[in-house]
Homo-oligomer: A and B are copies of this chain.
Amino acid sequence: MGSSYYQFCPVAKAMELLDERWTMLIVRELVTGSQHFNELRRGVPRMSPTLLSKRLGQLVRAGIADRHDDDGDVRYTLTSAGRDLQPVVEALGVWGTRWIGEIGDEDLDPKLLLWDIHRNIDHDAVPVGRTTIHFDFPGTPAHSRHWWLVIAAGQADVCDADPGFPVTITITAALRYMVRVWRGDLDWRTALRSGDVTITGPEELRRSVPQWFTLSVFAPVARPVPSASRRDGQITS
């Protein structure tokens, strides 16, 4: 539920609804456009379905989301109040981008990365016809090392098994580097020049590959100047 702070301050009233674990991530997913239960789940894979269900119920009761059941086709959408949370999500993302650059190994989830990437393909930049991109993350455990992105007809599908189509382009990179590129911590040019990310395939395509992907919306956020001494860090206690 999010128990009360017993304050009339609007920040407190807002946090009563929003400060529970996972809640803002679900709002983020809804802002991003996910609507179906299992679609939402993919954005918060470590959350149990029970808890997701509970949180969605809370968001509906709070007037932030609506549940539409059109004959078995259930969708969750944001209400106007929910849509108005976008600035909050953005402010959080900007802050997180600026001040939490250190990502732990446990945070590097390839499935989540592919899920993000597939939602942000620039279909106008990708060649017409079917394009199959093979991602190879050396250093990542075998079962999640290889991924395929099949792009066709303005649609993109993620596969964790070889779909069998001829591979157009292969992108090879330690998962961490690919994530850094996605987040905008590292730009394509630098990553490619240093060899931390490698693109394999026909010369004439290779150059345009970076344009196929629209990176994280937070990628363009200006990083703080690395001042004299700063302590970064997660809360560890």
Q: Which A residues have a C-beta under 8 Å from some C-beta of B?
A: 1-25, 28, 44, 46, 54, 57-58, 61-63, 79-81, 84-85, 87-100, 103-104, 106-109, 112-113, 116, 179, 182-183, 216, 218, 224, 227, 230-237
Contacts and interface: CB of A to CB of B under 8 A. Distances in A.
A58 B109 contact: no
Contact of A234 (B10, B16, B79): B16
B13 A96 contact: yes
Contacts of A62: 233-235
B8 A89 contact: no
Contacts of A19: 18-21, 23-24
B80 A227 contact: yes
A112 to B, nearest CB: 6
26 contacts: A4-B107, A6-B46, A7-B25, A7-B109, A8-B103, A8-B113, A9-B112, A10-B92, A11-B24, A11-B93, A13-B100, A14-B95, A14-B100, A15-B24, A15-B92, A18-B92, A19-B21, A19-B23, A19-B24, A54-B237, A61-B236, A62-B235, A63-B230, A63-B231, A80-B224, A88-B88
Contacts of A94: 10, 87
A10 B58 contact: no
B13 A235 contact: no
Nearest to A46: B6
A67 to B, nearest CB: 12
A100 to B, nearest CB: 4
Contact of A15 (B17, B25, B99): B25
Contacts of A11: 24-25, 28, 89, 92-93, 96
